[in-house]
Amino acid sequence: MTLAQRTTLATQEITATIRRLPAPVREFASQIPVHYEARPPAHILEEGFPDDILGLFDGSAHGEELSAEQPMPPQISLYLDNIWDYVEQDREAFVAECAVTYLHELGHFFGWDEEDLEARGLD
């Protein structure tokens, strides 16, 4: 499957996932841009993230003001080649993992740490 096909599948799944969220959460989620990239860019790796990272939330969490350390508005990146590799090129697993990874990163927007996410099955 090509990157373009994976991007289409991921976009469709994230759109459907957002539609299934409760209305108050959906309102916030629909305002956070989602970027679909093959792999994390060099500057992300230079920050110490592993090269097989599946997704990343960047920006200030909900309720926090923009700061000098986080001047960008919130955004989520999904690294589709990494997700594809993680699910061992299984189409159905890819779609499901895109949703889980998106919800994991959205959880960071709401201020949840890794422990909170794990407790919700989003690890």
Q: For the chain, state the CA radius of gyration.
A: 14
- List Cα–Cα distances, 35 to 59, 63, 75, 116, 118, in angstroms: 13, 22, 8, 24, 23
Indicate which CATH number applies to the domain containing 31.
Answer: 3.30.2010.20
pLDDT in tens, 47-104: 999 999 999 999 877 655 555 565 678 999 999 999 999 999 999 999 999 999 999 9
**What φ, ψ does residue 69 adopt, rounded to 5°?**
-75, -30
Residues spanned by the domain of 114:
3-64+72-119
Q: How many domains would you assign to the chain?
A: 1
Look at residues 59, 53, 61, 16 and name the one whose alpha carbon lies nearest to residue 37: 53
pTM value is 0.86
